[in-house]
Amino acid sequence: MPDVYNWQLGRDMSYRFDAAYPDRQFAFVFNINRCLACQTCTMACKSTWTFSEGQEYMWWNNVETKPYGGYPQGWDVKLLTMLEQANPDGQAWDARSAGPGRPYGEYKGMTIFEAAQAKGGQDQAIGYLPTDQEWQAPNIHEDTATGPKGVPGAYGKGAELPVHTPWFFYLQRLCNHCSYPACVAACPRNAIYKRPEDGIVLIDQSRCRGYRKCVEQCPYKRPMYRATTRVSEKCVGCYPRVEGTDPLNDGLPMETRCMSVCPGKIRMQGLVQIDKKTGEWVEDPENPLYFMVKQAKVALPLYPQFGTQPNGYYIPPRWVPRDYLRQMFGPGVDEAIDAYLAPSRELLAVLQLFRATQRILFKFKIEKGPKVRDVVIGGKKWSMYNDTVTGYDRAGNEVVRLSVLEPFHVRPKKYLNSI
Ligand code: SF4
Ligand code: SF4
């Protein structure tokens, strides 16, 4: 199998195909700290793409409560257990070797592709087919907290930031439109492909024969089988909107349905520029996603150790035990939470851009404003400035302008009872 460079792992890894990269890559940042689990994203996706016969159990976007929830049930624990069985006690990171081209250091363990190779056989990646029962409940164990076991009343103790004794959090999930997709590698019909223009991963329905190898080998369990048509389906990245063909958006790229409806303002989508030779993100510090992932390092990939180089990034929840988060997001967790707790001036301004527009932002600029507050965070002085941030679409139009402090409006007396 060819070797490809996985920058999230800081090393080469084997993959079924030679490296081939898109011009731009569909990517997103989710701020877990702000999600209220309203499932508006879930329903926006469902009512757009999976409302037909045979799609009843399909939720291309779902929001699950961790640590116990999951759709399909137990998907991540099963994958982590399989990796551990393939490489006992070997799933470790060398975070000290972090540097250019390897922001989280080097992953020393096995990816799902390497574990399959070690096992022998035909499969490209280790995996499993969830049972019908595991697909049945998209929101099982909602709002169920974990805490110290067998200690009556302990749930109420020590519940202070930064880490809560009892805890849970919401994990928002959709296809990661991975750079090395396991679904693409798994398909014996070559029916799944990654689009060269935006990196969106699609299943060609006319080639698919319903073997469900993608369902089995995608570690995130995003492809789903439709019994009425006998082919598999998955998130299509709302490609007509990303292409700019939605009549609402003047031919310019627009965010997906799940991104654009989020009342918690936790979601931002982008199209990052990719170096066609190396697969690395082209340096673009004025792109909000590049800034958050590569520069501020506040957002991290979900289970990077699986090896698919997923393009969904998460700002980790600040109240959750760090070991759990490191298993889920890799060794960058402490740096990301520190960056979020006391954000730099630039990061605080960029965080205002979440859900300010449906148009995909390609660039931001910041105008400096006055200092408005001094506070102490984690024993250190932190100052807040009322900077103004502007966001620009692909054509360079300014589409959004926001200040850090929300403007305060007083309704004139003559309108007090106008509703
Ligand atoms: S719409 Fe936003 S806040 Fe609501 S569940 Fe989805 S991600 Fe969370
Ligand atoms: S998340 Fe799964 S379905 Fe989506 S691109 Fe990655 S491997 Fe394929």
pLDDT in tens, 132-162: 999 999 999 999 988 766 565 566 665 556 6
How many CA atoms lie less than 13 Å away from 293 in the CB half-sphere?
31
Q: CB of 266 closer than 6 A to ligand 1?
A: yes
| Whole-angstrom distance, CA of residue 181 vs CA of residue 200 | 10
Ligand nearest to the CA of 224: 2
Q: What is the dihedral of CA 271, 274, 276, 279, to 10 degrees?
A: -120
pLDDT tens-digit series, residues 275-319: 999 999 999 999 999 999 999 999 999 999 999 999 999 999 999
Atom of ligand 2 nearest to the CA of 192: 8
Percent of the chain exceeding pLDDT 70 equals 96
Q: Enumerate the H helices of 15-131 as residue ranges.
A: 40-49, 75-86, 112-119
Task: Specify the pairing of strand 106-107 against strand 93-94.
Answer: antiparallel
Atom of ligand 2 nearest to the CA of 222: 3
- What is the 19 CA–ligand 2 centroid distance (Å)? 16
147 vs 115, residue with greater confidence: 115
pTM of the prediction? Answer: 0.95
- In this model, does residue 7 exceed pLDDT 90? yes
| Whole-angstrom distance, CA of residue 295 vs CA of residue 21 | 22
Question: What is the residue whose two structure tokens read 């049945």?
Answer: 136
Q: CB of 259 closer than 6 A to ligand 1?
A: no
Could you tell me the two tokens for 239?
A: 């490609």
Query: Phi, psi at residue 253, to the nearest 5°?
Result: -60, 135
pLDDT tens-digit series, residues 54-81: 999 999 999 999 999 999 999 999 999 9
Start-to-end CA distance of the chain, whole Å, equals 67
- In this model, does residue 172 exceed pLDDT 70? yes
Atom of ligand 1 nearest to the CA of 264: 3
Q: CB of 271 closer than 6 A to ligand 1?
A: no
| Whole-angstrom distance, CA of residue 6 vs CA of residue 280 | 9
For residue 314, what are the contacts with CB-CB under 8 A and spacing of at least 6?
Answer: 29, 30, 31, 32, 171, 299, 300, 301, 302, 329
